[in-house]
């Protein structure tokens, strides 16, 4: 495999997890590194950001942040290959499928899950979409019957599941409108980040990535993330980066500390909007020990119960 071609796909492979063989055909004769396409439609970016923020609650139980093995970004579609474990599929369905929350007062609290999200099976894949919108996310890498069994169980157990509604419900519309018109609309930040989610994974056997809105910006956290220079290149001004600028940095990547309470912090600024993303890597140094393996086995057993 020519080293020059490998170099041109290197940063994209690191950010998305795609194999070089799948990317080689996309290379052009310009000799430029292979870019990562952005979502063409605002509705696509909005769906990706909503999915990202919902699934961040997964935590860290495997080497794959959010359970995503690799991403296939296209302008009008995003394909996510998930880690083929029933508990991963269970968590994704639980976090994503919308249902009513009668206790919420703010419109954004009236829906649990992603408002407007619906799914359909397409062969061996699960397609996530929103009625009447040019938005499409394809989930692959697992037995689609797992998703169907889990979703059916949710429908049986939770009477306010909205999957079978043919159109948006008023509560979903209100939630979506409140989100996209808020001062901190997440799509411009987190759709591109989801398309580069592997950039947030560190070299260890357990990874997790979390994000949430915070006063004056957003917070992004990894528990055992990558070295800061790598993350800055992949999210910053690298050839496939987001152009995020470093506003402030406290980095211990090159020190000899191994204590769990010593981590790294980077304040990123998105230059076109001025939005701040406060990133931290807490460096817990987790391992895939017997206790964690037992927890995964128990969650897999409970996934279809």
Is residue 198 scored above 70 in pLDDT? Answer: yes
Q: What is the DSSP string of 71-124?
A: EEEETTEEEEEEPS-HHHHHHHHHHHS-EE-TT--SGGGSEES-TT-EEEEETT
Instruction: Say what the pTM is.
Output: 0.93
Is residue 197 scored above 90 in pLDDT? Answer: yes
Q: Given pLDDT bands bounded at 50, 70 and 90, which one contains residue 227?
A: very high
- Kindly state the average pLDDT of the residues 140-169: 92
Give the pLDDT confidence score for residue 109 in this predicted structure: 83
In this predicted model, what pLDDT tens digit does every residue of 259-303 receive, in sequence order?
A: 545 789 999 999 988 889 999 999 988 888 898 899 999 999 999
Which of 27-36, 80-89, 288-297 shows the lowest per-residue confidence on average (mean pLDDT)?
A: 27-36
Q: Strand order in 77-82's β-sheet?
A: 68-74, 77-82, 136-140, 125-129, 118-122
Give the pLDDT confidence score for residue 255 in this predicted structure: 60
Q: Given pLDDT bands bounded at 50, 70 and 90, which one contains residue 61?
A: confident
Q: Quote the CA–CA distance of 80 and 94 in Å, as a whole number.
A: 17
What are the CA-CA distances from residue 114 to residues 17, 44, 94, 242 (Å)? 25, 13, 10, 25
- CA-wise closest residue to 284 among 253, 304, 258, 249: 258
- Kindly state the average pLDDT of the residues 52-61: 85
Give the pLDDT confidence score for residue 49 in this predicted structure: 95
Q: Quote the CA–CA distance of 103 and 126 in Å, as a whole number.
A: 30
Q: Quote the CA–CA distance of 239 and 141 in Å, as a whole number.
A: 28
Find the Cα–Cα–Cα–Cα dihedral 170, 175, 176, 181, rounded to 10°.
120
What are the CA-CA distances from residue 236 to residues 179, 214, 261, 264 (Å)? 26, 21, 26, 17
Give the pLDDT confidence score for residue 303 in this predicted structure: 94
Give the pLDDT confidence score for residue 42 in this predicted structure: 96
Is residue 1 scored above 80 in pLDDT? Answer: no
Q: Quote the CA–CA distance of 32 and 240 in Å, as a whole number.
A: 10
- Kindly state the average pLDDT of the residues 27-40: 87
The vertex-14 CA angle with 37 and 139, nearest 5°, equals: 60
């Amino acid at each position: 495999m020519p080293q020059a071609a490998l170099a041109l796909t290197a940063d994209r492979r690191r950010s998305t997890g795609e194999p070089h063989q799948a990317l080689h055909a996309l290379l052009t004769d310009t000799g430029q590194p292979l870019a990562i396409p952005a979502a063409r439609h605002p509705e696509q970016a909005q769906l990706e950001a909503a999915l990202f923020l919902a699934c961040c609650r997964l935590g860290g139980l495997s080497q794959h942040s959010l359970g995503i093995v690799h991403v296939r970004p296209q302008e009008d579609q995003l394909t996510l290959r998930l880690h083929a474990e029933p508990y991963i599929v269970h968590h994704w369905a639980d976090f994503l499928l919308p249902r009513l929350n009668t206790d919420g007062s703010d419109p954004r609290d009236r829906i649990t899950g992603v408002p407007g999200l619906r799914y359909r099976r397409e062969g061996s894949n699960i397609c996530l979409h929103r009625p009447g919108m040019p938005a499409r996310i394809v989930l692959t890498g697992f037995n689609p019957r797992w998703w169907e069994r889990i979703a059916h169980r949710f429908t049986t157990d939770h009477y306010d599941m909205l999957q079978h509604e043919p159109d948006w419900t008023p509560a979903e519309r209100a939630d979506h409108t409140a989100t996209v018109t808020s001062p901190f609309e997440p799509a411009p930040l987190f759709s591109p980040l989801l398309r580069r989610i592997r950039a947030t994974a560190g070299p260890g056997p357990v990874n997790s990535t979390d994000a949430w809105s915070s006063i004056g910006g957003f917070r992004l956290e990894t528990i055992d993330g990558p070295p800061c220079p790598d993350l800055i290149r992949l999210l910053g001004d690298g050839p496939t980066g987001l152009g995020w600028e470093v506003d402030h940095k406290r980095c211990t990547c090159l020190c000899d500390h191994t204590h769990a309470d010593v981590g790294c912090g980077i304040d990123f600024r998105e230059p076109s909007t001025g939005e701040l993303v406060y990133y931290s890597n807490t460096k817990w140094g987790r391992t895939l020990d017997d206790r964690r393996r037992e927890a995964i086995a128990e969650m897999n057993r409970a996934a279809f119960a």
